[in-house]
Amino acid sequence: MVSLEVALRQMLVWHFSNIYMTPGRDHKMLLISNPRVCVIGAGIAGLTSAKHLQDEGIEFVVFESSRYVGGTWRYDPKVGTDENGLPIHTSMYKHLRTNLPKPTMEFKSFPVPEDMASFPTWKTYYEYIQDYTKHFDLEKHIKFLHKVILVSRVGNIWKVKYQNVLTNEEFDNEFDFVLVGTGHFSKPNMPNFLGEEKFSGSIIHSHDYREPDRYKNRRVLIVGAGPSGMDITMDVAYVSKTLIHSHHSKVPFRTKFPKHYLKKPDIKEFTETGVIFEDGSYEDVDDVIYCTGYEIYYPFLDKSCGLDITPRSIPHLYKYMVNINQPTMMFLGLIVRACLVVAIDTQSQYATAVIKGNFTLPSKEQMLEEWESRANVIRSKGRPFSDIHLLAEKEDEYYADLTKESGIDRVPPVMFNMRIKNMHMMLENLYTFRDYVYTVIDNENFSIQKYNESNHFS
């Protein structure tokens, strides 16, 4: 008879052996000795994953439906569909400059260029992404023009169906892990107001906003006051005749807008020539831009993935990323209000550490507990459930947590500190918050200096 003590010791050896183990469906530990990893998307999530997986010598492939790296950072003057008939993914507009200072958008092991502007244009930042891809020789892992169309769980394996977007030929492959990095700023959330169909002017979503020229001397209505809403408002206000801004945001913006800017409450309904607002007032409008955000959209994830995806949230993600029902599937970048580049890079490292077997994820029950406690806070505050993806003031604590659990490098608190300072500068003045240079001093501290014309930042 095996004594309890011997049995326990064997369990411990099993638990701490170097062989990778992943919790299976019924919590038996399975062995994955040479894991094969499927990465979906070659934006920042896919590229940072490729970098870390490559460092660890893990076998993987990145599927990317376009012919480019960089995802949303690659500006495309076109809207609608691309040359292969696929929906255009990017939401980038011509005049975009980053809304975070460059040190908070730096990839690990790849410093942003010294001569890069403090808040670079999309073009400058996109070049930095391309340089990263070249420097670490990541392209060889990317299957461009291949779109993932179905991911399903069959037994203990991920079946991934993907399609060559030029020939429509379909392929099947099997993987042990799936990292989902397809972004969540691409599928417009359209509000659908009463009477929209009789409105004779133009209506677009910010996903299709590219440049202000067509709004010259026109009466433009912008709906929404998120980052895109505020930024596009200013871009359009430079040229438009009037700028009507409808929103219910309680964020205390202190920016002084130009004289032709008019703040309005929410829309009640459209007429043929304009809009009636909730307060009963009416304005003539030529063009409308909905800056009403994006839907969460993963059309390729089958029911067998064990997720109840809604347009606003994906429930049951441990640490904002691990699919609790199938922990060999992880989501990268499904978070808001953070230094997104740094956060995604960190999540990619964490995922790589899981795959490498550097640590073992907690049990399903423990992971659910972590998720439930976050969900309960949202419920008790009566907040919308989309807040489950919100990091905001928890950002630094999140980095500390990921490091504590996985042993990956700790993102220094200075990142969060700079983001918060930048947020205050933004609230103070949307026209000038980008005129400052942020310099990291140590793990916690940074300095901020008014932009110096003679420094010739690009």
Ligand X SMILES: *[C@@H]1O[C@H](CO)[C@@H](O)[C@H](O)[C@H]1NC(C)=O
Ligand Y SMILES: Cc1cc2nc3c(=O)[nH]c(=O)nc-3n(C[C@H](O)[C@H](O)[C@H](O)COP(=O)(O)OP(=O)(O)OC[C@H]3O[C@@H](n4cnc5c(N)ncnc54)[C@H](O)[C@@H]3O)c2cc1C
Provide the binding-site residues for ligand Y, judged by CB under 6 A: 40-46, 63-66, 71-73, 89, 91-92, 96, 98-100, 105, 147-148, 181-183, 185-186, 228, 300, 333, 340-341, 344
Query: Nearest CA to 101 among 356, 388, 370, 426?
Result: 426
Restricted to residues 314-373, the positions that interact with ligand X (CB under 6 A) are 349, 352-353, 356, 358
Instruction: List, in sequence order, every beta strand (DSSP E) within 136-225.
Output: 142-144, 146-154, 157-164, 170-175, 177-180, 187-188, 202-205, 219-223
Q: Which does 130 bind (CB under 5 to 8 A by kind): ligand Y, ligand X, none?
A: none
If one asks whether residue 408 binds ligand X (CB under 6 A), the answer comes out as yes
Q: Which does 176 bind (CB under 5 to 8 A by kind): ligand X, ligand Y, none?
A: none
220 phi and psi angles, rounded to 5 deg: -110, 135
Query: Are the C-beta atoms of residues 99 and 231 closer than 8 Å to each other?
Result: yes
Identity (one letter) of the amino acid at 42?
A
Closest distance of CB 429 from ligand X, Å: 20
Instruction: Decide whether 195 or 357 has the Cβ nearer to ligand X.
Output: 357
Q: Which does 349 bind (CB under 5 to 8 A by kind): ligand Y, ligand X, none?
A: ligand X
Instruction: Decide whether 147 or 153 has the Cβ nearer to ligand Y.
Output: 147
Instruction: Decide whether 275 or 415 has the Cβ nearer to ligand Y.
Output: 415
Residue 38 and residue 324: Cα distance in Å, rounded? 18
Among 81, 445, 447, 458, binds ligand X (CB under 6 A): 445
Q: Which does 245 bind (CB under 5 to 8 A by kind): ligand Y, ligand X, none?
A: none
Query: Are the C-beta atoms of residues 440 and 448 closer than 8 Å to each other?
Result: no
Instruction: Decide whether 56 or 428 has the Cβ nearer to ligand X.
Output: 56
Closest distance of CB 42 from ligand Y, Å: 5
Restricted to residues 48-77, the positions that interact with ligand X (CB under 6 A) are 52, 56
Q: Which does 49 bind (CB under 5 to 8 A by kind): ligand Y, ligand X, none?
A: none
Write the CB contacts of 215 (distance below 8 Å, at least 6 apart in sequence).
236, 239, 240, 287
Ramachandran region, residue 143 (left: φ > 0; alpha: ψ -120 to 50; beta: rest): beta
Instruction: Decide whether 68 or 277 has the Cβ nearer to ligand Y.
Output: 68
Residue 141 and residue 62: Cα distance in Å, rounded? 6
If one asks whether residue 447 binds ligand X (CB under 6 A), the answer comes out as no
Instruction: Decide whether 292 or 406 has the Cβ nearer to ligand X.
Output: 406
Q: What count of Cα atoms within 13 Å lies in the side-chain half-sphere of residue 440?
A: 20
| Cβ count near 162 (within 10 Å) | 23
222 phi and psi angles, rounded to 5 deg: -110, 130
Closest distance of CB 189 from ligand X, Å: 35
Closest distance of CB 353 from ligand Y, Å: 19
Give CA 54 to chain center in angstroms: 22
Instruction: Decide whether 240 or 349 has the Cβ nearer to ligand X.
Output: 349
Given the rule CB under 6 A, which residues bind ligand X? Answer: 52, 56, 349, 352-353, 356, 358, 407-408, 442-445, 452, 454-455
